[in-house]
Amino acid sequence: MIRSKTSSDHSCSCHGLSDTTVLQAISNLCEATNSWVCLRSLNGNEICTLPENEPALRALKPSYLKQPARSEKAPSSISQRHKIESIIVHNSEKIGLLELYVVDLEKADAIMTCMQQSIQLSLNQVTRYSQDREETFRHVIDATPIAINYLNGKTGKIEFINKAFQDTFGYALEEIPTLQTWVERAYPDDAVRLNVAAEWIQRIDSYRQQGRSVPSIRTQITCRDGSTRQVLQQIERLGDYRISSFVDLSALSDIESRMQTRYGMLEMLLTKASLDEVLASIVRRIENEACKGFKCSILLLNNARNTYVKSVAPSLPEEYNQAVCGMSIGLGVGSCGTAAYLGERVIVENIMTHEYWRDYLDLAKIGGVQSCWSEPILSSKGHAIGSFAIYNEAPATPSDDDIELISFAAKLASVAIENRLAQRKLEEQAFYDHLTGLVNRRRFFELAEVSLQESIEQNYPLSILMLDIDRFKEINDRFGHETGDRVLQALARCASSLVGKNDVVGRFGGEEFTILLPQSDRKRAASLAKTLRQALSELRTPSSTGIDVQFTASFGVVCNDAKNRSIDDLLSKADHALYQAKGNGRNCVVSYTPQKPTSFTPNISNR
């Protein structure tokens, strides 16, 4: 994972310039253009240098790099890099400085333009993602039936109050813009206000010293109309923000339990738990909150939004869950299929007599249910992406509280699903090559390190293939880079189709690829390399000129027979064998043999 250096420049962080997505986009361009970047804040502090962990960068000087390492694939005669600078502007505001070091000065402007465009696209994506998360979070808070205000701890401003807060106390947000204003309105008597503040300060200091969370406090709030309410106030910290909740003590037992349950569900969204774990937690917590013997389910639709592909319902029989998966939605397809199809809530009080369940009575018997209330799970764009349902073992009509519970659960599930999908998309952009879809160099190293450690601990072999397309530059020069990209994609598809399910194909950089083969000895690795070499030589890739392009590749094979404890060492040996294959005439496979070292000296320009 790319990490920026710690900086005191808060504005840079606020604008997302140090976000992983932005840094990964720059790093990918650096690797593709054989360039180097220093990203700085407006005050000149260094945020990071990209790409990371390159041998040549360890000898970096202010305006040039020493002789490039082999992995840069630069001609050995190049010993200087040219430096150009540019200011990064986003939303009409200067947010940082970009120092670009390039080998070819003639291409500097084009590379800088690409860098700036990539940064802008990434910053826009980060901004949209942040705004979407803020909007969905506020949407969930607003749907909560507990009075809540949302305070910025740094500025002292109250940024949000939910509907329940306005209904409970009567204040609009503009009437209590700051914490000071709210406290003065809620506790108009000076003596009372000082006592309440003192009690809070004492509790906070005492419990923090003990390493415990601060409990709720019973207090009396003055409402806008002059009336007072006895409430139970709880303050929770969320980063720089403070979330205060106020529970009317007249319904303390029920609402306090519900508040704890929903806080737990909201906290679950902020963890690294998988989507299945989050959805299962939502289902169980809703069942526990209701305390009525409900059985709940969350059904997820496929990408086409027409068929259920996953059922999360731990209280229903597995046979029921399996039967639901693969079922298409539509009018009259039970409660859930109809709700997702119509995009609206469907209440079936008696399954045995309702037309929507006429063809699914056997399924209801498997589940042991006789009523089903279903709410569609809608995305932020209003598309159905699943459904939430509450089942009963007997015919039943939902109360207003039940309806609110179904609505809340569906909205929370929507936030969880979209949040995890957004995280997955960002991870894909950070770990996968956008052109070929293969894991990128950084991700390959991470997976290889894990596999190597496992192979050492469990005493099984591990092999690595390194392959390089022969005379790839000639393909680009003759047919254009678009055709060159097709060749890279064709190789990626071919390699992926031949490897096993535990093997990993990665794009190492440019036209060089690596294949990680866990639990594979030298014989199996060499056999796969020969099979892939033959398959690649038979490929025909169409070019923009109408001529089919043929290409070959050279392979280096290494096996962890000597129990090497470094992936860098294994890759170095695989690369050594690859260069020997190039020296042997290309389009061949060479296995590294430490007993017979070669004196072959590679010529990078002839690859």
Locus of tokens 């991470």: 446
Phi, psi of 20 (to 5 degrees): -60, -40
pLDDT for residue 17 = 57
- How much is the pLDDT for 295? 93
Q: What is the pLDDT of residue 7?
A: 40
Domain ranges for the chain, please list them: 20-58+78-133, 144-252, 271-424, 432-591
Q: Which fold has domain 271-424?
A: Beta-Lactamase (3.30.450)
Ramachandran assignment for 142, one of left (phi > 0), alpha (psi -120 to 50 degrees), beta (any other): alpha
Does 432-591 match 144-252 at the fold level? no
Burial readout 434-462 (b: 16 or more C-beta within 10 A, e: otherwise): eebebbbbbbbbebbeebbeebeeeeebb
Residue listed under structure tokens 């064709």? 490
Q: Write the DSSP symbol of residue 596.
A: S
Please state whether beta strands 462-469 and 504-509 pair in parallel, antiparallel, or not at all (unpaired): unpaired
pLDDT at residue 503 in the model = 95
Q: Give the residue ranges of the chain where pLDDT is below 50.
A: 1-14, 54-79, 597-606
Pair of tokens at residue 601: 């000296």
> Which residue(s) pair with 300 in the sheet?
310, 386
Residue 464 in contact with residue 514, Cβ under 8 Å?
yes
Q: For residue 475, which of 555, 536, 557, 556 has the smallest C-alpha distance?
A: 536
Amino acid making up residue 335:
S
* End-to-end Cα separation, the chain, in angstroms: 30
Nearest to 513, CA basis, from 488, 538, 537: 488
Q: What is the pLDDT of residue 311?
A: 93
CATH architecture designation of domain 20-58+78-133 = 2-Layer Sandwich (3.30)
Residue 90 CB: number of other CB atoms within 10 A?
17
CA dist., res. 7 & res. 13, Å (int): 8
Output the CA–CA distances (angstroms, integers) from residue 432 to 2, 21, 541, in the order listed: 14, 12, 23
> Which CATH architecture group holds 144-252?
2-Layer Sandwich (3.30)
CATH of domain 432-591: 3.30.70.270
Identify the pLDDT of residue 261: 67
With beta carbons less than 8 A apart as the criterion, state whether 118 and 26 touch. Answer: yes
Give ∠ CA 132-134-139 in degrees, rounded to 5: 95
In the sheet with 504-509, reading across from the earlier edge strand, the strands are: 504-509, 512-518, 462-469, 553-559, 589-591
